Amino acid sequence: MSEHEQPISMRFRIYRYDPESGAAPAMQDYVVDDLLPSMMLRDALLRIKAQDETLSFRHSCGEGVCGSDGVNINGRNGLACITPLKDLHQPVEVRPLPGMPVIRDLVVDMSRFFHHYRSVKPWLIVHDPMPEIELAQTPAEREKLDGLYECILCACCTTSCPSFWWNPDRFRGPAALLQAYRFLADNRDQATEERLNDLDGPYRLFRCHTIMNCADVCPKGLNPTAAIHNIKKLMAEQST
């Protein structure tokens, strides 16, 4: 916080929905006083929650690590805890991540997202007998995983992907595909063929039309589009 900052009031418009109430979803306006421009959207949501305890949203770490507070902010997905208020035009519209079933207010059902994540077997598969101490990697082999392992599973990418909105049950989505490539790129993994066969077909991988929304919104600066492109390349190599 800068000592020169002046407190400000800000206007927010938040998506509200309580399926138990029987009422239709609606946007609700709030004004929050005494905010500082360097505060994050999560701070403002906590202030709103102090005014109106019925507002529901997820959050935990407060520093872009846990991935739990992905929301749609003025039309763009992002993490509330690392989105500075000074960057937001008002009223700040906050909605749940698009294309996911809403449980309540800003809380979405992540089951489908994690179903796709688990389906790519996001763990090392090694068929050889395991060495006694470790599966060593050279620094160069390890470097190939940079930009792949840092994903915090916030779902900002997958829920901004039109191909996922249209085929949520069949297209794996950018987050799961980034993880698929994370293991395909790992020299210790021995399930390349099995992994590629599992992604073959018209939907799981090939629904990606390189629209790039995913790479634009990733709060960790990752590039699922590039990972998807690399999987397609591996598939092409496998079939020659």
Alpha helices (runs of H) in the chain, residue ranges in sequence order: 41-51, 111-119, 139-143, 162-166, 174-184, 192-199, 213-217, 224-238
Quick check: helix, strand or coil at residue 194? helix
Residues 76-105 that bind ligand FES (CB under 6 A): 79, 81
Q: Does the protein bind ligand FES through residue 66 (CB under 6 A)?
A: yes
Q: Does the protein bind ligand FES through residue 195 (CB under 6 A)?
A: no
- Judged by CB, which is closer to ligand FES: 35, or 61? 61
Q: Does the protein bind ligand FES through residue 107 (CB under 6 A)?
A: no
Share of the chain residues as helix, strand and coil, in percent rounded to the nearest 5 = 35, 15, 50
Residues 18 and 28: their CA atoms lie apart, in Å, by: 13
| Listed residue (66, 7, 64) closest to 38, CA to CA | 7
Binding site for ligand SF4 (CB under 6 A): 151-157, 161, 163, 174-175, 178, 208-214, 218, 220, 222, 224-225, 228
* Biggest distance spanned by C-alpha atoms of the chain: 64
Q: Residue 209: name its binding partner from ligand FES, ligand SF4, none (Cβ under 5 to 8 Å by kind).
A: ligand SF4
- Judged by CB, which is closer to ligand SF4: 11, or 233? 233
Q: Does the protein bind ligand FES through residue 62 (CB under 6 A)?
A: yes
Show the site string, 20-59: x = touches ligand FES by CB under 6 A, - = not: ---------------------------------------x
Q: Residue 97: name its binding partner from ligand SF4, ligand FES, none (Cβ under 5 to 8 Å by kind).
A: none
Q: Does the protein bind ligand FES through residue 150 (CB under 6 A)?
A: no
Q: Residue 234: name its binding partner from ligand SF4, ligand FES, none (Cβ under 5 to 8 Å by kind).
A: none
Residues 15 and 96: their CA atoms lie apart, in Å, by: 7
Q: Does the protein bind ligand FES through residue 64 (CB under 6 A)?
A: yes
Q: Of 8, 36, 61, 191, which one interacts with ligand FES (CB under 6 A)?
A: 61
Residue 145 to residues 115, 132, 167, 181, 186, Cα–Cα distance (Å): 23, 23, 28, 9, 7
Phi first, then psi: what are they for 145, rounded to 5°?
-90, -10
Q: Residue 79: name its binding partner from ligand SF4, ligand FES, none (Cβ under 5 to 8 Å by kind).
A: ligand FES
Least Cβ distance, residue 99 to ligand FES (angstroms)? 20
Phi first, then psi: what are they for 182, rounded to 5°?
-55, -35
